[in-house]
Structure 1
């Protein structure tokens, strides 16, 4: 996992994400419901600093596995932001499994455009009558810290080739084959929570589909 000071390009992206008012700040179409329309790493030691914060349950059923192949940054803020970026993804999945577009978990780990994005994603799964199953892998994380340490831009790849949708009523799983569509690139702007500064929340998110740079 690489880290770097927030460069001019990264700073520009962060500003763009903050100012974005389009559909939650992300490309919703690039983060498809896996298979629906086509046919865990625990938080690192940085979480100990926020041990006094009561965090929501983001546990998932045994048939859904999230793999975060992230290395811990040496910078404490970046490590905390990366941990909670992973928790934001867990919380989004928790909302899908719970079939609750107003699930407290994603609201705890996000606000603004990122919260809107999560709700939109969960809504789509609920409306389609689907839940998630299989294995979802996230990797190649890069963290970029702002000069004032008030924001960390987290980027990472996703391979959803083994992540599938399951019809809630019938239990039927829709399997898909690995392709360029399996690879996504995430850019998530993380900032400390106003109520609990130990907790980092996703403020804005940008998701790019068919990410060739994420193919391995």
Structure 2
């Protein structure tokens, strides 16, 4: 059975991420939900919109998604400006991957702008997989329970859930969308990511660890 495209994103990320360990985030394997929690700092969550332009003076690449593709983010306003900045760049990184998959363009500058290291490698492999199979997707992907933890080395960890039940695969050549795929446990994934602030002041995602069919993310 074909799987939903956003669920394939989680699977691809998990495969690429298996070669490293988020030791600074507390470790844990992609199959263990008990180890997904990060100790060391408080967190917060509230409703927020999709990533938008920033007034921090950073020259950021524009991210433009197709009209039939939407990333919805919850938990972007914590009341802590530093945490909010991390969550904003986390959201932009997610949408940069979505753009690279769903928008046919020669270059996708936002992908490299918001990802580096192992996270950039996993994202590039994921995007390449879609193009190789002549696939894209449409629909809405929801990201929620987003929490920030600041680490002793100056990096940040962001954990969050993904709900891909409203996304559907699209054939890149014909444009046909398959809406027959039923929702399943595979549509819910938990992410444990590491972000590091670069010289430009951007919180780049450097590594990603994923739990597919995460019970903690299911309704």
The answer to whether TM tops 0.5 is yes
1:41 counterpart residue number:
49
Q: Relative to total residues, which structure has the larger helix share, 1 or 2?
A: 1
1:152 aligns with 2:156: yes
In structure 1, distance between residues paired with 2:83 and 2:52: 11
- 1:34 alignment partner in structure 2: none
Paired residues, number: 181
Matched, 1:78 2:89: no
Displacement of 1:178: 1.1
| Within-5 A mapping of 1:14-163 | 14=25, 16=27, 41-43=49-51, 47-48=54-55, 50=56, 52-99=57-104, 103-148=108-153, 150-163=154-167
- 1:146 CA drift (Å): 1.5
Describe the SS at the equivalent of 2:165: coil
- TM-score for the superposition, normalised by structure 2: 0.75
What is the distance in 2 between the residues matched to 1:110 and 1:200?
9
SS class of match (1:162):
strand
Of the three residues 172, 177, 185, the one matched with 2:176 is 172
When normalised by structure 1's length, the TM-score is 0.76
- Which structure 1 residue ranges, 4+ long, deviate > 3 Å from structure 2? 42-45, 99-102
Mark the CA change 1:26 to 1:204 in structure 2 (over 3 Å): closer, same or farther.
Answer: farther
Q: Tell me, what secondary structure is at the counterpart of 2:58?
A: coil
For the residue of structure 1 that corresponds to 2:152, the secondary structure is coil
Report deviation, 1:12.
Answer: 3.7
For structure 1, which runs of at least 5 residues remain unmatched after alignment?
Answer: 1-10, 18-24, 28-39
2:13 alignment counterpart? none
Of 63-72 and 118-127, the range deviating more from structure 2: 63-72
Task: Give the CA deviation at 1:102.
Answer: 5.7
Unmatched segments (≥5 aa) in structure 2: 1-21, 32-47
